[in-house]
Amino acid sequence: MRIFLLIAGFILFLCRDYIRAAPIEWHFIFFIAGIVLLGIPHGAADLLVGSQNARGRNSSFTVLGFLSVYISRLLIFGCVIYFFPVAGLLCFLLFAAYHFGETDLFFLATNTLVGKIVVASYGLVILSVILLGNAADLKQFLETSGYATDMLPFIDLVEKNRYILLSVALVFFFCCIFLYFISQKNTVLVTDTFLLHFGLLVFILYHLPLLTGFTFYFVVWHSVLSLQNIISYLRKSGNYSYKVIMKQISFFALLALAGIGVSGLAGFMYSNNEAVMLYFILGLAVLTAPHMQVMHSMYNQIRGTGIKEEEIPDK
């Protein structure tokens, strides 16, 4: 799957000049279509995943209890995003970095501090490449949307030193990988193939425009791999059929879209393209906190049961 996604990304890289020259509406259509078809559905199975997580821990589970905790986290983080936009945005980036890293590197042992740092540093590299490589576009987006404008002076400073920051992020990640190698006895899962794929992914993301790069990684790459892991996890439990999984994903995806649509109408979301993208990104940010916890528990279950050699990605 990763190879197919890398091929798709390389095609986008070859077409990057045409992508930059395309009308902005095309970029938004690509972004919104990806969110609707992949981004939201990849988090729509959280109820099933939460149920299976509880079953794996031999603990009790109720739909009401799960939704109460899930919605509480959502509302708390939503308040942080709304009342403290700079702090909320930074928290979202940190949460997203760890979540991205844990998804892409779910086969690593993250029960140690070194493993957790590797996961976080991987995600930070991905976000750094997307954001720092397009710092001017990010600044323009914040100015146009009017969100977290207090960060604009900080972004100016970041833009002037983006190559240094990118280099630091990469060096830090490879140092963490090295420490992981010497601290873990079984490092067969960290192969030269993985490092090659990582290098190609970073190369592609660096050369894509901001919105296209974000859409490709989060909406396509991350969502597809997450859905693949979720479906495999639920199917291997023997408790859920493929039909049940897809039915649940479809139902909660439609529910989430309806919620975003109503919130958008109430907040004048559809006034311009920047507002549409801002509301969708903030909606995803709010959903990150409860979704990340559910997925973190799932990956702990996966690692706890061990990974067979034939299940190693791209092995």
pLDDT tens by residue, 180-219: 888 776 555 556 677 888 889 999 999 888 888 888 998 8
Show me where the domains of the chain are located. Answer: 2-12+66-233+244-304
DSSP state of 151: G
DSSP state of 310: G
Residue for token pair 């006895």: 185
Q: What SS3 class is residue 88?
A: helix
pLDDT tens by residue, 134-149: 877 777 777 776 666 6
Local confidence pLDDT in tens for the 315 residues of the chain: 888 899 998 998 898 888 878 877 787 788 878 888 887 888 788 888 998 998 888 888 888 988 899 889 888 888 888 788 878 888 888 888 898 998 888 777 777 788 889 999 999 999 999 888 887 777 777 777 666 667 777 778 877 888 888 899 999 998 988 888 887 765 555 566 778 888 899 999 998 888 888 889 988 899 899 888 898 888 887 777 888 888 888 887 887 777 766 665 555 455 555 666 667 677 777 878 888 889 988 988 887 654 443 343 443
Which amino acid, 178? F
The pLDDT value recorded for residue 203 is 92
Work out the angle between the directed axes of helices 273-305 and 242-266 (0-180°, nearest 10): 150
Q: From 279, 287, 125, select the one nearest 217 (Cα to Cα).
A: 125
Q: From 61, 67, 60, select the one nearest 46 (Cα to Cα).
A: 67
96 CB-side CA count, 13 A: 24
Q: From 10, 48, 126, 72, select the one nearest 297 (Cα to Cα).
A: 48
> By the 8 A CB rule, do 288 and 77 touch?
yes
pTM of the model: 0.81
